Structure 1
């Protein structure tokens, strides 16, 4: 704790008034200004819990990271601000400082000059000198260049304001080779609040994830002895609503890693080439926040069979995806755990199942009776309850997946809420309420999915890729 009477008084005031946002913000700023970087980082983190979108707190935390040379963490903290048009110019200067620390001079220059073009008061001459010095060509300009001296450094103009088109054929030493919107991921870094304890059943699936993804991160020395590195990919597949996304979040929570949930809108773009850049930026985001679980839902839309594609840009996106999974070197994706989920694994290009990529398909089955009872117990744990017989409800919900069971609980709660409002007091949920709701709900898509799976297992399984499904499709559905 800092030996500073003023800071001690501020800390005591913050302790007595922990929800006082202006006071906590002032304390964090003072800690940063006086050089107590670890304490400032901790205070900014704690205060951000009170106001997660506060730009001043986000930039303060990023500044604390930069002063500790934690440049990747600084960029991760700034991502929510930088993804919004018209972000605070001060955030752009901090991003430039972090990017320069990571060695990316081109992007650092872009961020710096774009920010200072909107607000000259945030200019930092020392930072600008470092950027221009790193970007200046090593050889002198040709005779007759600006300045009239064959040895004078080139006159450099700031890059245009973000969004302003450059003249045709013009090249700037500060601008990246592609526009910033195509080079910045819209995916967000999260921290998962669930773990495997919040996932009912699926012990075989959880064990496969532990061995493939989690244990190499938790016991790196053991795996290093056998030449196994932390990282890799797993393809989760199964019927809709079986819990693939929930399982991915739980894997991140189990590891205490960052979680990036990638949607189709984060990648796909109407302009040719932008989808590939978005995919590259998303992997870069995960690499900056390692250890990180990078989750692609509905991955068949991004990794479909190239033989089925009529347009070249679709095949190029698949090629880019494969390239990112491989990484530019063998350590590029170390600490990045790639989880992909799909309801249609047979539409995913076979190249993704090559070792080192999504080489381990893991079937996420519909829950059995014991797992259904456990799911119901988790879904009901924060609700007023009478004596419950979850096994009885599980018996009448055969073929229900997790999403279906959540629908049963939601329907029962709505009916019980109506009774409670009429009575003027909370009335506990009973087994009969769940049974009544279960009888009024039909399972969604498991039967249809199993019918499709049966066709592939029986008639398109020469490689043995779908042998895991054999016991399931032979069952009566």
Structure 2
């Protein structure tokens, strides 16, 4: 069998469709090795080990592939000693970071949290608090002043006749921690957390989407206090004037009904938070007073937040002499997701180098800075669109926070 055989090509297609399927990738590597393509087999084994470092078959394939001579190239190192590599990593001594200090807070992009809840599955109150969000002090202060402080003071709330309900819209570029901030709000309130995405609500059958929306709010009412988090609000509550689908219009109508409460007091103890990357596409009726009348801009992580995210993603990786201050400066404007990708790319570079040379090495500053240079911040396209909105569609000053940020960054 040749490396270009139909079977191998079919397996390549299958692996591309399921890149994390380790057994399938190892099987492809075995066929490539048998076909006289050890370099290609090494590449497949390296990716398999990246997903499953302890996989015995992948390790065996790597050892055999590296022991075979590569055609028209210098002989590959024989027998990469994984046990010795583990011992080298295990014996690594501080400093891991150039200036090691206290235990880092949780990542501001939400890494390490348990993930989105299944539809209508309310998470019990958990320990994530705003203090666990690295940096983002301005966001925390706005949340405290506009949302949390009134709800924490029942006597003042009673004096001023404030109902124990509320709606807050988080908006900003993707990957900047809006979901994690919502979880932290639930933690501050000691409330359950019910995360709702568009897939939890929309249904192909007439009337089911509205029923799903109603059941979600009924679940929250039964388990109050509860935070209902509506992700991608522009998809769940898009402008009705722009859709030709009566089903979507009815779903928005049902959401409006649920936000108002069936009898005016049904939502007592239900706090509705929503997130969107495109607040300008949200139906205007959802933005009126009493619904999502308060908005909060969640921007790319500031310097302290970037340090927290980087520490989180490097905490269990073999690193040495990482100058976090320098790395934080090099990643200005990166989202939390971008920072995670930088760490992943640097780890991949070090892993492949270790495989090629047969000697394990740590992840260092050149790997991390090189990965940062290769990546264009994913927030750029969002700010390009937001700039037009800030300039020409800021009626009523609802995007003043965005205008202030763009001016500070000289993007307006």
Q: Which residue of 2 aligns with 1:234?
A: 168
- Return the offset for 1:390: 1.3
CA contact (8 A) 2:170 2:275 kept: yes
Structure 1 residue 311 displacement after superposition: 3.1
The structure, 1 or 2, with the larger RCO (C-alpha pairs under 8 Å, 6+ apart) is: 2
State yes or no: 1:448 paired with 2:381: yes
CA distance in 2, matches of 1:258, 1:427: 45
SS at match of 2:396: coil
What is the CA distance between 1:267 and its match in structure 2? 0.4
Asked if 2 retains the 8 angstrom alpha-carbon contact of 1:212 and 1:232, the reply is no
Q: After the TM superposition, which residues 77-226 of structure 1 pair with which residues of structure 2 at under 5 Å, given as runs?
A: 186-191=119-124, 192=126, 194-226=128-160
Q: Structure 1 residues 424, 452: CA separation in 2 closer, same or farther (over 3 Å shift)?
A: same
8 Å CA contact 2:135–2:303 kept in 1: the answer is no
Higher mean C-alpha displacement, 275-284 vs 195-204: 195-204
- d(CA) in 2 for partners of 1:359, 1:193: 28
Q: 1:291 to 1:423 in 2, by over 3 A?
A: farther
Q: Verify: 1:461 aligned to 2:379, yes or no.
A: no
Could you tell which deviates more after superposition, 414-423 or 190-199? 414-423
- Pick from 412, 434, 437 the counterpart of residue 371 of structure 2: 437
Kindly tell me: are residues 426 and 224 of structure 1, through their superposed partners in 2, closer, same or farther at Cα, counting changes over 3 Å?
farther
Distance in 1 (CA, whole Å) between partners of 2:311 and 2:202 is 39
| Residues 205, 362 of structure 1: 8 Å contact kept | yes
Alpha-carbon distance change, 421 to 323 in structure 1, aligned in 2, over 3 angstroms: same
| Aligned with residue 347 of structure 2, among 413, 416, 420 | 413
Distance 1:381 1:195 in 2: 21
Q: Compute the TM-score of the two structures, normalised by the length of structure 1.
A: 0.56
CA contact (8 A) 1:390 1:431 kept: no
2:283 pairs with 1:349: yes
RMSD: 2.5
Once the 2 structures are TM-superposed, how far is the Cα of residue 194 of structure 1 from its aligned partner? 3.0
- 3-state SS of the aligned residue for 2:395? coil
Farther off after superposition, 278-287 or 309-318: 309-318
Distance 2:355 2:123 in 1: 37
Matches within 5 A, 1:22-41: none
Structure-2 residue corresponding to 1:402: 336
Between structure 1 and structure 2, the one with the greater Rg is: 1
Supply the distance in 2 between the matched residues of 1:311 and 1:385 (Cα, whole angstroms).
53
Deviations 1:3-25 (A, max 9, x none): xxxxxxxxxxxxxxxxxxxxxxx
Between the aligned partners of 2:156 and 2:315, the Cα distance in structure 1 is: 38
Q: How many angstroms does 1:193 deviate by?
A: 5.2
CA distance in 2, matches of 1:242, 1:229: 31
- Secondary structure of the residue aligned to 1:463 is helix
* Matching residue of 1:271: 205
Cα 1:391–1:285, aligned 2, differ >3 Å: closer, same or farther?
same
Worse overlay, 388-397 or 275-284: 388-397
Q: How high is the TM-score relative to the length of structure 2?
A: 0.65
Following superposition, the deviation at residue 422 of structure 1 comes to 8.2
Describe the shift of the 1:225–1:418 C-alpha distance in structure 2 as closer, same or farther (beyond 3 A): farther
C-alpha distance in 2 between matches for 1:294 and 1:260: 5
Cα distance between partner residues in 2 of 1:249 and 1:382: 24
Report how many residues are paired. Answer: 292
- Where structure 1 has 5 or more consecutive residues not aligned to the other structure, the ranges are 1-184
What do the CA deviations read for 1:365-411 (whole angstroms, capped 9, x no partner)?
12233432232223333444434321201111122111101111122
Give the deviation of 1:423 after TM superposition. 9.4
**1:62-88 CA distances to partner (integer Å, 9 max, x unpaired)?**
xxxxxxxxxxxxxxxxxxxxxxxxxxx
Alpha-carbon distance in structure 2 between the residues aligned to 1:426 and 1:190: 42
Structure 2 CA distance for aligned equivalents of residues 226 and 401 of structure 1: 40
- The 3 A distance-change label for structure 1 pair 420 and 294 is farther
The counterpart of 1:252, out of the listed 180, 186, 192, is 186
Gaps of 5+ in 2: 1-117
Q: Which residue of 1 aligns with 2:244?
A: 310
Given the superposition, is the C-alpha separation of residues 424 and 198 from structure 1 closer, same or farther in structure 2, using an over 3 Å criterion?
farther
